[in-house]
Structure 1
Amino acid sequence: MSGMVLYGIDISPPVRACLLTLKALGLQYEYKHVDILSGEQLAEDFTKNNPQHTVPTLNDNGTWLWDSHAICAYLVDKYAKDDSLYPRDLALRARLHQRLFFDASILYMPLRFITIPMFRFNRSIVPREKTQGVIEGYVLMEKFLANSPYLVGDRLTIADLCCVATASSLAGVVELEQEKYPKLHAWMERLKKLPYYEEGNGVGCKKYLEILKKRLTAIVS
C-alpha cells in the first residue's frame, strides 16, 4: 500500500487541484477527509505537521507539504514519467508559475473573501466589489487563452488543473457566460472531457456550488 496520504475536503478547490494531479499521474494514495467546517484541522496531531492547519496537506512517506500549487509541482517532479504537466524548460516553467501565482492571488482570493464570511459568520450578501474580483479573473483568463487551448500553450499542465478547480467554483458567485467568455468556456469544456475530471473535480465542485446556492441569498452585482 502506498505511504502517500492527502488530507482534505473535496468541496475545497485547492484540494480538488491536488486530486486532479494525483489522478492525472495515476498515483496510489489514501485520502483522509478533514472536516474544516467543524475545526478538525486544528487538532494537535494535524497542526504538529502543518502549523498553518490548512488543506490540502500531503504526507508522502514522511515528507509533509501544504499549499496546492507546491503539492502539485512536487508530485509531478517526483513521480511523472515526463515533464509534460510541469515542463522543465525555463521559459515554459516561468509562464506556468505565473499562472499558478495568478490562481493563488487573483482567481482564488475573491472566492475566499466571499466564502470565509459566509462559513464563519453566516453572511449571505456578496457586495459588488467582491463580484468584480471574480469578473476580473474571468477577463484575464479569456486573454490567457486567446491563442492557445491551454493556459501554457498547446498541452495540459498543472496550471490548468489548479485553475480549473478554482474557475469551476466561481460559477457559484458569477455565472460563466459563454457569450462573454468563449475561450474560457471552451477551455472549461475541454478540461471536463479528461477521464479523471469528474472524480477529481466534478463531484466536489457540485457539492460546493450547492452550498453557495443555498447560503448566498443575495449577490449585489
Structure 2
Amino acid sequence: MPIDLYYTPGSPPCRFVMMVGAATNVEFNCIEINLRAKEQYKPEFLEMNPQHLVPTINDHGFVLWESRAISRYIVNKYDHNSKLYPQDPQTRALIDQRLDFDLGTLCPSFSQFFYPSLFSGIEPNKTQIKKLADALSVLNRLLHGLEFAVPGESLTLADLCLATTISNIDAAGIDLRRYPNIESWFALIKVSAPKYREVNEQGLRDFKNLVKEVLKPKKAALIKTVISKVVFAEGSGKKAKLLKKNSKI
C-alpha cells in the first residue's frame, strides 16, 4: 500500500523524497499541504507533526519528517541493497556529508538570498550574497573530476538531494555556466534520475508559477538586480558574478 506523503510541490525537500520514491519504486499517496494557506497549522497536522514541516510521511502509523531522514528510511526499509545508499561505511559517510552540506549550507544560503527579495522586497546583504556564491563554489570543487556527487559511485541520495536544490537555483535565474562542474553534473542527473522530468520538473513549474504569482513589477526588477550582483572573489582573487539568464523566471 502507498505511503502517505504530505508535501508542497515547489519544495526541493519534498521533490527529493518523491525522486527517492521513484528510484526505489515506492508509491506515495500524495497529500498537498498549502503552506501559504497555513494548512500546516491545522490541529490534525500538528497532532501528527508538531514541527509543522513538509515533507512528512505516515507509513501506516509510522510518522517521520525531515527529507533526508525520510530518504534514508525509505531506502533502508524498502530497497536495502540499493546503490542509492550503499552499505559501505565510507561511501555512506560521503553521501551523508553531501546531504548535510545541502541541509546546512547550500539550501539555506539560497533561501536567505532569494526568498526575502521574493516575498518581502528585501535585498540581500553582501554576506548573504557571498554565502550563496561560496556554497556554489564549494559544490563546484567537490564535483571536480566526478560524474556523480560521490567518488566511484553511481547515482546516490546525494545526487537526488543536491539536484532538487540546484534545480531551484537554476530556475530562479542564477547562471550555472560559471560553475562548469555543477552544470555538467546537473545535466547528467537530469537523464539519470528515474522519472526526473515527471517528478522534479513538475515541481519546478509550481515553483516558477509561485514566483510569477508573488512578483509585482517592482519586486521583479529587484530580483533581477539581486541576481546580477557581483558576489565573491574566487581563489585567484578575481571577482565573479551570478549572472541572470536570458530567459525570464
TM-score of the superposition, structure 2-length normalised? 0.81
Residue in structure 1 matched with residue 21 of structure 2 by the alignment? 22
Shift of 1:181: 1.3
| RMSD of aligned residue pairs (Cα, Å) | 1.9
Residue in structure 1 matched with residue 67 of structure 2 by the alignment? 68
Give CA-to-partner distance per residue, 1:6-41, whole Å, 9 cap, x none. 101110010000010001111122000000111000
Instruction: Determine helix, strand or coil for the equivalent of 1:171.
Output: helix
Decide which structure has the larger Cα Rg and report it. Answer: 2
1:182-201 pair list within 5 angstroms = 182-193=180-191, 194-201=193-200
Asked which structure has the greater RCO (Cα within 8 Å, sep 6+), the reply is 1
Measure, in 1, the Cα distance between the counterparts of 2:114 and 2:50.
22
Instruction: Determine helix, strand or coil for the equivalent of 1:48.
Output: helix
Shift of 1:203: 1.3
Instruction: Determine helix, strand or coil for the equivalent of 2:48.
Output: coil
Measure, in 1, the Cα distance between the counterparts of 2:142 and 2:121.
33
Question: Are the equivalent residues in 1 in contact too, given 2:14–2:54 (CA < 8 A)?
Answer: yes
Shift of 1:173: 4.5
Residue in structure 1 matched with residue 146 of structure 2 by the alignment? 148
Question: Are the equivalent residues in 1 in contact too, given 2:15–2:203 (CA < 8 A)?
Answer: yes
Q: Which ranges in structure 2 are unaligned for 5 or more consecutive residues?
A: 230-249
Measure, in 2, the Cα distance between the counterparts of 1:166 and 1:114.
13
Q: Which ranges in structure 1 are unaligned for 5 or more consecutive residues?
A: none
Instruction: Determine helix, strand or coil for the equivalent of 2:176.
Output: coil
Give CA-to-partner distance per residue, 1:89-129, whole Å, 9 cap, x none. 1111111111010000111102332455357x532534443
1:1-221 pair list within 5 angstroms = 2-80=1-79, 82-114=81-113, 117=116, 122-123=120-121, 125-153=123-151, 154-173=153-172, 175-178=174-177, 180-193=178-191, 194-212=193-211, 215=215, 216-217=219-220, 218=222, 219-220=225-226, 221=229
Cα gap change, 1:205 to 1:125, in 2 (>3 Å)? same
How many percent of aligned residue pairs carry the same amino acid?
Answer: 29
Shift of 1:3: 4.5
TM-score of the superposition, structure 1-length normalised? 0.90
- AA aligned opposite 1:83: S
